[in-house]
Amino acid sequence: MGTLKLELKGITKRFGSLIANDAIDLVVQSGEIHSLLGENGAGKSTLMNVLYGLYEPSAGQILVDDRPVTFNGPSDAMAAGIGMVHQHFMLVPVFTVAENVALGNEATGTGGILDLEQTRRKIRDISAKYGFDVDPDAVIEDLPVGVQQRVEIIKALVRDARILILDEPTAVLTPQETDELIDIMGQLKAAGTSIVFISHKLREVKAVSDRITVIRRGKVVGTAEPSASTTELASLMVGRSVSLTLDKAPARPGEETFQIRNLTVMNDAGQALVDNVTFSVAKGEIVAVAGVQGNGQTELTETVLGLRKHVHGSILLDGKELVGRSVRQVLDSGVGFVPEDRTTDGLVGSYTIAENLVLDLYGKKDFSRGFTLNRAAIAKHAAAKIDEFDVRTGSAEAPVATLSGGNQQKVVLARELSRPLKLFIASQPTRGVDVGSIEFLHKRIVAERDQGTPVLIVSTELDEVLELADRIAVLYAGRLMGVVPGDSSRDLLGLMMAGLNAEEAQAHLAGPDSARATTTEGEPA
């Protein structure tokens, strides 16, 4: 198993008229960790899917150890020594670890009878070598995401991958799990595996890379050394200088008008998704709910809005109970809500921008006359909001699905903030949004706070939480690990996101064994 040099020459990938990759050149030297840095939608994943044989390039060449190759499918790429860990794991949830690792590469006896014992042995070997704690007979859906990711890495290693592509691998991890992943990447590199690390998180890219290639709008815009400063990298990635820190005045919290008390939410099977959670948000403050994805944040916001059943406990807004009310009643009581997935829950893609801007207001007398809509008023409203929120579009009559992610999110925000609010909830307010729009959206959220609205943010991006929050509530497995000040350290939050309560986490950081937990750099630049 030697090392491998990989070269991409002039790779172009078109989808219809859209050019996702435009003549990209990239060289990954053997035994290096090469980062691909770029915003969401810059074309990183497309490029890697081309490399992995999932897409056929429209033009260009792939060279492995200086020999040109063509991949007709992932099996060709795997045969050439390329392995990939996808952003959304490619694991069959109802299969065991061994079955997933075996799939496509099965050891068989006579007549195609599976010999899983051989696969189990390989998994144990790799587990032991890299210190993974993976049980070959565990069922995938029972495993935490961090372990699932290791299974993905094992899948590649079992196939003797000499280049490993990791597509946004840290998106689903706690800071501590990210540190462990960085360790693993170091071990793999030492063992001779080259790694392509795809990310938009500057801090991580700087921490792991030997070399950095920056991609913007499908083109390579430059390469950088990991010693480059975060601001340099950011401006290269975005194409203009950006301020990475938000100027916001200290919060002046008023009365705690939004209160969640002993809230428990269960699924039909009786498992608690939100488990006895109590906290409150004051007027004029932003409380951010932090946690790794899937720890009850989604259910918490859905419950406030009245979307879930099996709810116990109490949610009070201005002293009025919200539990048991319909969504319409909750909205009418002054709740603005930005759902985590704008394309499925926030917008109707085929409706126009103007229509989407009044999705929850069309029945109000401003926008309707009897049974018909007041088209003129809706158009006027749309023009005003497009201007106010800087939505980049040719026409208010364009289907909202034609907008970029950032502009779609501005439409959602514009709609939700167009009523006087008593509570503003935003779930993943900047997921899949370009850096320029992030700045704008964050400013609007802070502006809403400064008007005296209680604001509840849910985000799995720790950077965003630290930037916006006046206080941070950490959820783990549906339980509240504690509410800590907005300027708490990443290490503290990371430990809480991994299931320690605030007190335990603080004790852990103060204790003698805290050295391991502080390998990451402290604060973002």
Partner 1 sequence: MSTTLAPTAPAQDRLIVRNWKVPVVFGILAAFALVVFAVLGPGGTATFRLSQDGDAWQLPNLVLPARATGIVVTVLCLALAALAYRQTQRTGRTERWLGVSFAILFVIGLMVWIIAGTNTQNITLVGLFTGAMLIVTPIVFGSLSGVLCERSGVVNIAIEGQLLAGAFTASLVASITGNALAGLVAAAVAGVAVSFLLAVFSIRYLVNQIIVGVVLNVLVAGLTGFLFEKIMKIKVEGATIYNQPPHLPNLPIPVLSEIPILGPTFFRQSILGYLMLVLVAVIWFALYRTRWGLRIRAVGEHPQAADTMGVNVNRTRFRNVLAGGAIAGIGGAYFTLVAVSSFSKDMTGGLGFIALAALIFGRWNPVGAFLAALLFGVAGNLQSVLSIAVTPVDGHFLAMLPYALTILAVSGLVGRARPPAASGVPYVKG
- Distance of alpha carbon 163 from alpha carbon 151, whole angstroms: 16
Contact 214, 220 (CB under 8 A): yes
Cβ proximity to partner 1, 309 vs 328, nearer residue? 309
Least Å distance, CB 500 to partner 1, is 8
Would you tell me which residues interact with partner 1 (CB under 8 A)? Answer: 49, 52, 54-55, 73-75, 78, 84, 86, 88, 90-95, 99-100, 102-106, 108, 111-114, 155, 264, 266-270, 272, 275-276, 278-279, 310, 312, 471, 479-485, 501-504, 506
Least Å distance, CB 228 to partner 1, is 33
Least Å distance, CB 196 to partner 1, is 16
Cβ proximity to partner 1, 37 vs 272, nearer residue? 272
Least Å distance, CB 418 to partner 1, is 32
Least Å distance, CB 91 to partner 1, is 6
Distances from the Cα of 74 to the Cαs of 125, 162, 221, in angstroms? 25, 15, 28
Least Å distance, CB 269 to partner 1, is 7
Contact 264, 296 (CB under 8 A): no
- Smallest Cα–Cα separation from 355: which of 322, 385, 396? 396
Least Å distance, CB 49 to partner 1, is 7
DSSP-derived secondary structure letter, 182: H
Helix (H) or strand (E) holding 64: strand 59-64
Cβ proximity to partner 1, 389 vs 476, nearer residue? 476
Least Å distance, CB 499 to partner 1, is 9
- Alpha helix stretches (DSSP H) within 144-293: 145-158, 175-190, 202-208, 230-238
Cβ proximity to partner 1, 212 vs 469, nearer residue? 469
Cβ proximity to partner 1, 111 vs 370, nearer residue? 111
Tokens representing residue 459 in the block: 């985000």
Cβ proximity to partner 1, 339 vs 482, nearer residue? 482
Cβ proximity to partner 1, 119 vs 170, nearer residue? 119
Least Å distance, CB 407 to partner 1, is 24
Cβ proximity to partner 1, 357 vs 468, nearer residue? 468
Cβ proximity to partner 1, 439 vs 467, nearer residue? 467
Cβ proximity to partner 1, 366 vs 503, nearer residue? 503
97's CB contacts (< 8 A; 6+ apart) are: 123, 134, 135, 136, 137, 138, 140, 143, 151, 154
Could you tell me which residues are beta bridge partners of residue 337?
Answer: 425
- Distance of alpha carbon 93 from alpha carbon 156, whole angstroms: 18
Torsion sign over Cα 471, 439, 353, 297: negative
Residue type, 32: E
Strand 479-485 to strand 471-476: parallel, antiparallel, or no bridges (unpaired)? antiparallel
Task: Provide DSSP, 427-483.
Answer: ESTTTT--HHHHHHHHHHHHHHHHTT--EEEE-S-HHHHHHH-SEEEEEETTEEEEE
- Distance of alpha carbon 28 from alpha carbon 25, whole angstroms: 10
Cβ proximity to partner 1, 40 vs 278, nearer residue? 278
Q: At what angle do helices 405-416 and 435-450 cross, to 10 degrees?
A: 10
- Distance of alpha carbon 272 from alpha carbon 15, whole angstroms: 43
Least Å distance, CB 435 to partner 1, is 26
Least Å distance, CB 484 to partner 1, is 5
- Distance of alpha carbon 186 from alpha carbon 141, whole angstroms: 28
Burial of 180 per CB tally in 10 Å (0-12, 13-18, 19+): middle
